[in-house]
């Protein structure tokens, strides 16, 4: 099996999409075949989808073509941690003081060395949707740095219910307001997938 898709999260994807406003700049790491990407673009957002799996990227590009959303979605085939360091260095550059956007050259497709200049919002992205893989919660701190003040992060994590109070405390210490949290599915005995709507 080359790609993963979970159809059981349909109602959750619909919920998140309902919060998106046209014109938002959204970053989606671990984008997969695009289950969160396409609904966000369908609401009029500009979406940057980051995915390291070449097969998932190929499926996502085909889904974008079928849905005629080419102008609203940029697919970046890269490791998020690597891309984060590039985005963060550009975002914090002194060159951004008097400009609304900064240009960053990224490789969209390593197989054919396809590069593109993308614009990085100076004050950060309006929203991040983060379907985090199991055991990779440490990325929240990095993602938070890319989101503007008053922006939103929809963060997914796999935890036991007993761990939730500690997570809420941890997120608040990071300067994030927990507006909502809920269970979105069970993945193993005692372990569930949770979503946190966080406001920066």
Return the CATH number at 112. Answer: 3.40.50.150
Q: Which domain holds residue 74?
A: 7-199
User: How many folded domains does the chain comprise?
Assistant: 1
Between 115 and 179, where is the model more confident? Answer: 179
Give the distance from CA 115 to its chain's centroid. 21
Asked whether residue 1 is assigned to any structural domain, the reply reads no
Asked whether residue 161 is assigned to any structural domain, the reply reads yes
Average the pLDDT over each of 106-110, 190-194, 196-200 and give the range with the smallest value.
Answer: 106-110
Asked whether residue 2 is assigned to any structural domain, the reply reads no
Q: How confident is the model at residue 102 (pLDDT cuts 50, 70, 90)?
A: very low
Asked whether residue 100 is assigned to any structural domain, the reply reads yes
Q: How confident is the model at residue 78 (pLDDT cuts 50, 70, 90)?
A: confident
Asked whether residue 150 is assigned to any structural domain, the reply reads yes
Q: Would you state the pLDDT for residue 81? A: 77
Asked whether residue 75 is assigned to any structural domain, the reply reads yes
Using CA atoms, how far residue 39 sits from 11, 20, 60, 150, 181, in Å, is 12, 9, 13, 22, 21
Please give the Cα distance from 107 to 83 (Å, whole number). Answer: 10
Asked whether residue 50 is assigned to any structural domain, the reply reads yes
- Among 163, 127, 121, smallest CA distance to 143 is for 127
């Amino acid at each position: 099996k080359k790609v993963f898709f979970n159809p059981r999260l349909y109602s959750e994807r619909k919920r998140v999409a309902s919060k998106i406003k046209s014109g938002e700049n959204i970053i989606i790491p671990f984008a997969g075949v695009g289950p969160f990407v396409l609904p966000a673009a369908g609401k009029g957002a500009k979406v940057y989808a980051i995915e390291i799996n070449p097969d998932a990227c190929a499926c996502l590009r085909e889904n974008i073509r079928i849905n005629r959303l080419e102008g609203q979605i940029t697919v970046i085939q890269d490791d998020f941690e690597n891309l984060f360091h590039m985005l963060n260095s550009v975002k914090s550059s002194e060159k951004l003081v008097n400009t609304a956007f900064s240009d960053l050259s990224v490789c969209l497709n390593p197989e054919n060395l396809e590069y593109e200049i993308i614009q990085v919002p100076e004050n950060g992205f309006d929203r991040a949707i983060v379907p985090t893989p199991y055991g990779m919660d440490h990325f929240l701190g990095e993602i938070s740095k890319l989101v503007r003040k008053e922006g939103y992060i929809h963060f997914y994590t796999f935890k036991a219910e007993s761990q939730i109070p500690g997570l809420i405390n941890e997120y608040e210490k990071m300067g994030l307001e927990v507006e909502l949290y809920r269970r979105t599915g069970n993945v193993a005995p005692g372990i569930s997938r949770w979503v946190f709507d966080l406001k920066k």
